[in-house]
Amino acid sequence: MTELMAATEFYLTHFENYKKEGLKAYAGGDYPRARYALLKASEFLFKLSEKSDGLIRKSRIENANKLLELARKIEHAPAYDGREGAHEAEGEGGESKFAVAEKPEISFDDIAGLEDVKEEIYARVIYPLKFPEKAKKYRMLPGGGILLFGPPGTGKTMIARAIANEVNAPFYTVKPSEIMSKWVGEAEKNIAELFKGARKHKLSVIFIDEIESLIPRRSGSSSSVMQRVVPQILAELEGFDAPKGNPMLFVGATNEPWLLDAAVLRPGRFDELIYIDLPDRKARKRILEINLKGRPLSEDVNLDELADMLEGYSGADIRNVCANTAQEAFLDSVREDVDRSISQADLKKTIKKTRRSVTQRQLKKFEKYLIEH
């Protein structure tokens, strides 16, 4: 590794760690810590900018200034009572079986792109808790229903896990299989319990992954459980846009939205349908960066070129390309007992061997769905 690369790596790691710590502290209301960490993050980013040039340098300086500004703003932020956390004691009754026990280690920073989803989450649950007066002034009703849909491997499940980490509110995650099979015959009771438990909190988040199996088109489902469960969930979701009790954010994810019962898309239930597309060039580059970080890289590695080659690949595909290339280099290093870094040629070779997991036909199906909804 050259001296420049070593320095860059050092600053980058510190910058990322401080930024993460700062934003987390900020979200959690620990302003003194947030201010300190963000100042440090900004300092390291300025240092990083000195090691780069061109557009990267410019964008690093800009971002460092933004962090500085944020740190200054925090100086005047009110103390926030962060007691309503995800770890708070659960109410009585069986609701704990749906709650997330531990916050996952994943944050918005680990997710490339998907800025519109992140913004929705900020507007609907993070800021309303943090700035209740402002939310009232602008008549922003927190919570609501968001449906994330798109091809496989694009980060839908990942973003939901990150929400659990970023949002300072109780987070419930439910697998349809849990509701349907673990407590056979109790499906309706489970659903009622889930919503009742969640509504006890000032603001809460419920996430249901693979939601098409919980709310399938009724005509296509012969199961009598479904005939009762679907209307019940629909009733729980009713009036999400004008909550009477405590508000909650309901997030559903699916890669087959056309299998959903059409009634779920009526206004007042999911009020926001967000299409999670394959990553664009910038996001592909970021996914490469995230997945190659900390691995020994040759100096010739050129992420821009790789990002171009990876057009049409999903985030999961790109993660696999990186992991498989690293594995090859690792095996070589073991077999030949020499440390060797991952080169541009290695990465290109793996890309050529790897197929896009999302087909044109699947994409067409989404396009059609988007036009119709």
> Which residue ranges make up the site for Mg ion (CB under 5 A)?
156-157
AA identity, residue 75? E
Among 17, 52, 157, 333, binds ligand ATP (CB under 6 A): 157
Query: Does residue 307 belong to the site contacting ligand ATP (CB under 6 A)?
Result: no
Nearer residue to ligand ATP within complex by CB, 30 or 209: 209
Query: How many Cβ atoms from other residues are within 10 Å of residue 87's Cβ?
Result: 11
Q: How far is CA 198 from CA 124, 158, 297, 343, in A?
A: 16, 22, 47, 50
Among 141, 234, 316, 363, binds ligand ATP (CB under 6 A): 316
Residues contacting residue 311 through CB under 8 Å, at least 6 positions apart? 281, 284
Query: What residues pair up with 149 in beta bridges, in sequence order?
Result: 254, 275
Query: Does residue 257 belong to the site contacting ligand ATP (CB under 6 A)?
Result: no
Find the length of the chain. Answer: 373
Residues in contact with ligand ATP, counted by CB under 6 A, come to a total of 19
Distance CA 227, CA 261 (A): 11
Nearer residue to Mg ion within complex by CB, 156 or 285: 156
Among 71, 111, 215, 310, binds ligand ATP (CB under 6 A): 111
Query: Does residue 321 belong to the site contacting ligand ATP (CB under 6 A)?
Result: no
Sites for ligand ATP among residues 3-42 (CB under 6 A): none
Among 49, 154, 190, 213, binds ligand ATP (CB under 6 A): 154
Q: Smallest gap, in angstroms, from Cβ of residue 156 to Mg ion?
A: 5
Distance CA 356, CA 320 (A): 11
Nearer residue to ligand ATP within complex by CB, 113 or 247: 113
Concatenated DSSP letters of 40-81: HHHHHHHHHHHT--HHHHHHHHHHHHHHHHHHHHHTTPPP--
Q: Smallest gap, in angstroms, from Cβ of residue 264 to Mg ion?
A: 18
Which strands form 171-174's sheet, in the order they lie side by side? Answer: 171-174, 204-208, 248-254, 144-149, 272-275
| Residue 113 touches which member of Mg ion, ligand ATP, none, C-beta under 5-8 Å by kind | ligand ATP
Q: Smallest gap, in angstroms, from Cβ of residue 193 to Mg ion?
A: 24
| Helix (H) or strand (E) run with residue 273 in it | strand 272-275
Token pair in block for residue 241: 């846009």
Point out which span in 79-87, 191-199, 230-238, 313-321 binds ligand ATP (CB under 6 A): 313-321
- In contact, 128 and 140? CB cutoff 8 Å: yes
Q: How far is CA 234 from CA 98, 218, 226, 269, in A?
A: 19, 12, 12, 8
| Residue 112 touches which member of Mg ion, ligand ATP, none, C-beta under 5-8 Å by kind | ligand ATP
Among 155, 170, 197, 247, binds ligand ATP (CB under 6 A): 155
- Taking residues 201 to 240 in sequence order and writing x for each that binds ligand ATP by CB under 6 A, - otherwise, the string is ----------------------------------------
Distance CA 4, CA 223 (A): 63
Among 112, 187, 237, 292, binds ligand ATP (CB under 6 A): 112
| Residue 279 touches which member of ligand ATP, Mg ion, none, C-beta under 5-8 Å by kind | ligand ATP
Concatenated DSSP letters of 197-211: HHHTSSSEEEEESSG
Nearer residue to Mg ion within complex by CB, 157 or 320: 157
Q: Which residue is nearest to ligand ATP (CB)?
A: 315
Q: Where do contacts with ligand ATP occur on this chain (CB under 6 A)?
A: 111-114, 152-158, 255, 279, 283, 287, 290, 315-316, 319
